[in-house]
Amino acid sequence: GGGGGGAMAEGEGLVSVDYEVSGRVQGVFFRKYTQGEAKRLGLVGWVQNTSHGTVQGQIQGPPARVRELQEWLRKVGSPQSRISQAEFSNEKKITALEHKDFQILK
């Protein structure tokens, strides 16, 4: 045994990963759907449109859930979006979540 961890600990810790999605992802409610999917999975982070037509952000949470959202960002997206590419970078282990929830940034 041992001491109790935080409420969100699932034995394998937490990860943080940055993402950028290219394609037809602006003006198709991509951010709203990403936020909804992240909340469904219990993840935190943020999402925003960039000036060069992509959507970028950060995801934090248990690795298995983060993987699910990565797959969703790569293949699904919002109903009207057309994803050509999803890139993930700066993946790292974190000891605590750095965001309270999943926000859409302007």
**Residues annotated as catalytic (active site), given as ranges:** 31, 49
| Helix then strand then coil, % of the chain, to nearest 5 | 25, 40, 40
- CA distance linking residue 31 with residue 54, whole number of Å: 11
Residue for token pair 């859409």? 104
Q: Which residues contact 11 (CB under 8 A, 6 or more apart)?
A: none
Coil, helix or strand at residue 73: helix
Q: For the chain, what is the largest distance between any 2 Cα atoms, rounded to a whole number of angstroms? A: 50
